[in-house]
Copies of this chain bind each other. A is one copy, B any other.
Amino acid sequence: MNSIKAQARELDQADPLAHKKSEFYLPEGVIYLDGNSLGALPHSARVRAKDVVDAQWGDGLITSWNQHGWIDLPHRVGSKLGKLLGAADGQLVCCDSISVNLFKLLSAALKMRPERHVIATTAENFPTDIYIAEGLIEQLGGKHELRLLEEQNLCEALTDDIAVLMITQVNFRTGLKQDMEAVTRLAHEKGILVIWDLAHSAGAFPVRLDASEADFAVGCTYKYLNGGPGAPAFVYVASRHQAEYIQPLSGWMGHAEPFAFSPHYRPAQGIRQNLSGTPGVIGMSILDAALEVFEDVPLTALREKSLALMRFFENCLEAHDIAGYLTPCYPEEQHRGSQLAFRHPDAYAICQAWIADGVIGDFRAPDILRIGFAPLYLSYADIEQAVSRLAAILNEQRYQDPVFQQKLHVT
C-alpha cells in the first residue's frame, strides 16, 4: 500500500502535464473520474463566461456581433478544434448538437450515393446516432435500410451496397477505440462514405482526420474538451466533398450572404453551409476559452499520460487487492480510448457509494462501472486515492446500503 502511494508520488513528479491541473477549478475533496461525461471547469472558461455576459452582452449589446467577433465565432472555434483533430482550416465548424449535425451529414451523404440505400452503423453505437438515422429514414419514406453491424466483425461487414457508415470511434461503454485510418480505407475500397462520431475522442488523444482521409465527422465538446454542460458540437466535412455537399437544415447563417436577406437560399461555399440558426454565443464563447488549455499540450503527451493513468489504475486495483471483485470489459491498451469499464452486478450502487465518498465515476446500464481518465486534471495520487476508497466500499460491501439504489440520470 505504501509502495503504491510512493509510486503515485514518483509518477506525479515526472509528469510533464502535471502543471495543467492548476488551470482547472476542481471542488475541494472531490476526485473526478467522469470527465468523459462532463469535463471540469477551466479557469479560462470561468473568466470568459463573465466577460461574454457582463462586458460583451451587457456593455456591447448588439454591436458585439462585430466588435467581439460573435459572427465568426463558429469558425474560430472550428479552427481551434481542427488543430486538435488533425484537420486543416475550413473543414470544421462549431454548431448545434451531435444529433442535429448527424442529421445534416447523413442527409448529405445519402445524396452523394443515390444508387445505394443502406446506412450502416454498429449495434453498439451511442443510441442518439442510431435514433437520428432512424428518424431520417422514416422521413425519407422508408426506402433506406439501417443496418446494425457487429463491432467485432466490422471490417468483414463492409459491403458495396452501403452508402454511408456512421461509427463512433470510441465505444461509450467499453472504451474500444476503432482504427480510423484502417476502417476508413476499407470503407473507401467499397465506395462507402464514413461519418466518424468523435464524442469520446476529441481532447482525449490525437485524432488525424485529414491523414485518415475521413469524409465526415461530428463530436461534442463537453467531455474531454471541457466546454461546459451542453456546449455546442462540431461538424467536419472534408474539403474534397464540400462542392458536392448539400445539407437540408438550410438556415440563414449557412447562406452565402446571410445579411442580404435574399428570398432564396443559396448555400455558402465551404464548411459554413452547416451553420443553420443563430449560434449560441455564450456557450460557444465559453468553449472557445476552454480550448485555450490545450494550446501548450502536445497531444502525444496527452495520450501517453492517459494510457499511463489507466495502467496505474490497474496496478492500484492489484495493490489494494480488489481486482477480483470487478470484471474488466475493456480492450488491450493500444485499442483503448481514455476510459476503463468494469462489470459488477451492483455497479450502480458501487458508483453511488463511491460518489458519496468523494469519487465521481459513472454507471452505464445495465452493469457497467465506467471510469474516465482526463489527463489534464487527474494526478496519479488521485487515482491511488480513488482506488483506495473503492477498496473500502467493496471490502465492507458498503454498496449494499439501500440509500445507494436511487437512480440518477447522467449523460
Report A's interface with B, CB cutoff 8 A: 25, 27, 30, 32, 34, 37-38, 40-41, 45-46, 49-50, 53-54, 56-59, 61-66, 70-71, 96-100, 103, 107, 123, 126-128, 130-132, 134-136, 138-140, 148, 220, 222, 228-233, 246-253, 255, 258-265, 276-284, 286, 355, 360, 362, 364-365, 408-411
Task: For A276, give the chain B residue with the smallest CB separation.
Answer: B99
CB-defined contacts of A40 to chain B, threshold 8 Å: 58, 61
Query: Closest 10 A-B residue pairs measured CB to CB?
Result: A97-B277, A99-B251, A135-B250, A229-B281, A99-B277, A128-B252, A131-B265, A139-B248, A41-B58, A230-B281
Q: So how many copies of this chain end up in the complex? A: 2
Interchain CB contact (< 8 A) of A99 among B25, B27, B249 = B249
Q: A118 CA to B130 CA in the complex, in Å?
A: 31
Inter-chain CA distance A20–B128, complex, in Å, is 43
The residue that A103 contacts in the complex, of B50, B65, B248, B409, with Cβ under 8 A, is B248
Q: Given A127-B252, A130-B263, A265-B134, is A58 in contact with B30 using a C-beta cutoff of 8 Å?
A: no
Which residues of B have CB within 8 Å of A56?
Answer: 229
Partner of A264 from B107, B130, B260 at Cβ < 8 Å = B130
Q: How far is the CA of A88 from the CA of B99 in the complex (A)?
A: 29
What residues of chain B lie closer than 8 Å to A64, measured between beta carbons?
229
Q: What residue of chain B has the Cβ atom nearest to residue A60's Cβ? A: B27
Quote the shortest CB–CB distance from A101 to chain B (angstroms). Answer: 8
**CB proximity of A396 to chain B, nearest CB, Å:** 23
A58 to B100, CA, bound (A): 27
- Give the docked Cα–Cα distance between A266 and B148 (Å): 17
CA distance A261 to B34 in the complex (A): 18
The smallest C-beta distance from A390 to any residue of chain B, in angstroms, reads 18
**Closest chain B CB from A269 CB (angstroms):** 16
CA of A46 to CA of B54, assembled, Å: 7
Q: Which residue of B230, B250, B276 is within 8 Å of A279 (Cβ)?
A: B230
CB distance from A279 to the nearest CB of B (A): 5
Asked whether B364 lies within 8 Å of A276 as measured between CB atoms, the reply is: no
**Contact (A263, B135) CB under 8 Å given A282-B283, A409-B65:** no
Complex alpha-carbon distance, A132 and B100, angstroms: 14
Name the residue of chain B whose CB is nearest to the CB of A252.
B128
With a CB–CB cut-off of 8 A, which chain B residues contact A360?
A: 61-63
A364 to B135, CA, bound (A): 38
Inter-chain CA distance A211–B255, complex, in Å, is 36
Known: A65-B410, A251-B128, A409-B71. A280 touches B49 (CB 8 A): no
B100→A100 contact, CB < 8 A:
yes
Q: List, in ascending order, chain B residues with CB within 8 A of A138's CB.
A: 246, 248, 250
Residues of B near A410 (CB, < 8 A) are 62-63, 65-66, 259
CA distance A128 to B279 in the complex (A): 13
Q: A37-B62, A222-B278 are known contacts; what are 19 more A-B pairs with Cβ within 8 Å?
A: A25-B54, A27-B58, A34-B62, A38-B57, A41-B57, A49-B53, A62-B410, A65-B229, A66-B408, A96-B96, A97-B277, A99-B252, A100-B277, A107-B139, A127-B261, A128-B277, A230-B279, A261-B364, A278-B411
Asked if B134 and A264 make an inter-chain contact with CB atoms under 8 angstroms apart, the answer reads: yes
Contact B278 A132 (CB under 8 A): no
Choose from B45, B66, B135, B261 the contact partner of A265 (Cβ within 8 Å).
B135
Residues of B within 8 A of A231 (CB): 280, 282
Docked Cα-Cα span, A188 to B138, in Å, equals 27
A and B contact pairs by CB, cutoff 8 A, 15 listed: A27-B58, A46-B58, A53-B286, A57-B228, A66-B410, A97-B277, A126-B252, A127-B262, A131-B250, A131-B264, A134-B265, A135-B265, A138-B250, A139-B248, A230-B284
**Minimal beta-carbon separation of A341 from chain B (angstroms):** 14
How many angstroms from the CA of A230 to the CA of B96 in the assembled complex?
Answer: 11
Contacts of A139 in B (CB 8 A): 107, 139-140, 248
Given known contacts A50-B50, A249-B103, is B262 in contact with A57 (CB within 8 Å)?
no
